Structure formats: structure tokens, C-alpha cells
Amino acid sequence: MEKVKVYKMTTDDVDEVFHLEELIHPTHHWSKESFYSELSNKLARYYCVKNKDNKILAYIGVWFIFEEAHITTLAVHPEYRRLQLAQILIIQTVKDCYNEMIKYITLEVRESNVNAINLYEKFLMKSIGVRKNYYQDNGENALIMFTENIWYDKFKNNFFQMQNNIKKVEVLYV
Ligand SMILES: CC(C)(COP(=O)(O)OP(=O)(O)OC[C@H]1O[C@@H](n2cnc3c(N)ncnc32)[C@H](O)[C@@H]1OP(=O)(O)O)[C@@H](O)C(=O)NCCC(=O)NCCS
């Protein structure tokens, strides 16, 4: 079983994260400067997943604003998908939310991105509206997805179950 660690992204990771970003989103990726700028944004937190060879397999970015956490980016290396790495990064985010008394988690997702929508629905997120022509590259609509209040039992019980179901990799949260 692959051993992975989850840790806070630093400026030393930006080159590798950027290569991954280009690989995953060839036509509409973030710039290196965006990552550098996000890493100095006090409201933002970025995490990576690395394997034992120190290869970055996945990353997530989140803004914490008042009572909401807004997921800004989430991506997993194409060769390492379906290993629960995205779930692991969302679990890390939810833990941060509990530590910081956040109530809701939200994000925008392309309406055609069924894989990501399935992922968010596992965390009981629901689409509450649409931003028309949100994506500049192809004019696609974004679904706005929200959790319910994460302090409610329904969310918590599901979250604990999600944590217990991480079985495809061995995770160390640093
Ligand atoms: C979407 C993405 C982040 C999922 O990452 P992942 O690590 O492979 O996802 P996980 O293994 O944690 O899977 C979690 C759940 O997501 C859903 N999912 C993920 N990939 C899927 C696929 N190919 N088909 C259907 N559902 C899928 C499933 O519900 C899955 O749960 P299951 O394995 O129990 O069925 C990844 O495919 C990716 O990086 N895509 C490109 C970037 C992107 O779309 N980011 C999201 C932007 S909003």
C-alpha cells in the first residue's frame, strides 16, 4: 500500500505543483505567480500530498473567510487517481474548519465535471445555484456547491465515516 503524507504547501513546492497544474489543466491553468501569491495570502491555506519518493501527487487550496471555507483548487495527478487522495485533502480541510469554527464549505465546479461533483456529494455538498458562463476558457457554467452546517450531526457522522473509509493508502497528516 502506498504511504503518503499531507502537509502544508510551501514556496519550495510551487515548481512541481505548477508542472502538475499544467499537466492537469493544459488550456486553463493557474500561473506560478498565482501559487506564490496564494501562499502569502493570510486567508488561504494550501496542502499537498506526497509519496515516499517525495513526489507531489495532489494539492488543494482553501480560503477561510468568516464562517465559510471556499475550496479554490483541488487536483490529483492523473496516474494517482481513485486512491482517495482527493478525499484525504478534503478531510484535512474539514479538520481545519472544525479547528477554526467554520460552518460551511463551498466551491464552484464545472457543470460537466461529474467526477468532482460525485466527490463533493460524498461530503454531502449540494448544488445551490449556477454561475452562468463562469469559466473563461469555454464559457461553461459553474455549479455553486455548499455543505450544510458542518456542525450538524448528519455532516459529522458522514465525515467520521469518510475518515474511517480511507483504506487505499496509508496517510500521515504532518
Ligand atoms: C476530481 C478529482 C480531484 C478526484 O480525485 P481522486 O483522488 O481520484 O478522487 P478519490 O479517489 O478521492 O475519489 C473520491 C470520489 O470521487 C468520485 N470520483 C472520482 N473519480 C471519479 C471517476 N473517474 N468517475 C466517477 N466518480 C469519480 C467518486 O465518488 C469517488 O468515490 P469512490 O471511489 O468511492 O467511488 C480528480 O479526478 C482530478 O484531479 N480531476 C481533475 C481536476 C479537477 O477536476 N478538480 C476538481 C475541480 S472543482
Domain ranges of the chain: 3-168
Residue-level pLDDT at 28: 87
Distance CA(32)–CA(12), nearest Å, equals 12
Per the structure block, which three cell numbers stand in for 157? 457522522
pLDDT tens-digit profile of 38-71?
A: 999 999 999 999 999 999 999 999 999 999 999 9
CATH superfamily label, 3-168: Gcn5-related N-acetyltransferase (GNAT) (3.40.630.30)
Buried b (16+ CB within 10 A) or exposed e, 118-144: ebbeebbbeeeeeeeebeeeeeeebbb
Residue 8 region by backbone torsions, left for phi larger than 0, else alpha for psi between -120 and 50, else beta? beta
Average pLDDT in the 106-129 region? 98
DSSP secondary structure code for residue 3 in this structure: E
Bridge-based pairing of strands 68-76 and 104-110 is: parallel
In this structure, the residue with its CA closest to atom 15 of ligand 1 is 119
Q: Which residue has the higher pLDDT, 1 or 56?
A: 56
* Residue-averaged pLDDT of the chain: 97
Q: Which atom of ligand 1 is nearest to the CA of 88?
A: 12
* Interval 132-174: pLDDT, tens: 999 988 999 999 999 999 999 999 999 999 999 999 999 998 8
118 lines ligand 1 (CB under 6 A): yes
pLDDT band, residue 119 (cuts 50/70/90) = very high
Tell me how far the alpha carbon of residue 79 lies from the centroid of ligand 1, in angstroms: 12
**Active-site annotation, residues:** 108, 120
What is the per-residue pLDDT across 3-34, written as a single tens digit (0 to 9) for each? 999 999 999 999 999 999 999 998 889 999 99
DSSP assigned state of 11: G
Is the pLDDT score of 81 beyond 90?
Answer: yes
d(CA 96, CA 94): 5
DSSP state of 78: G
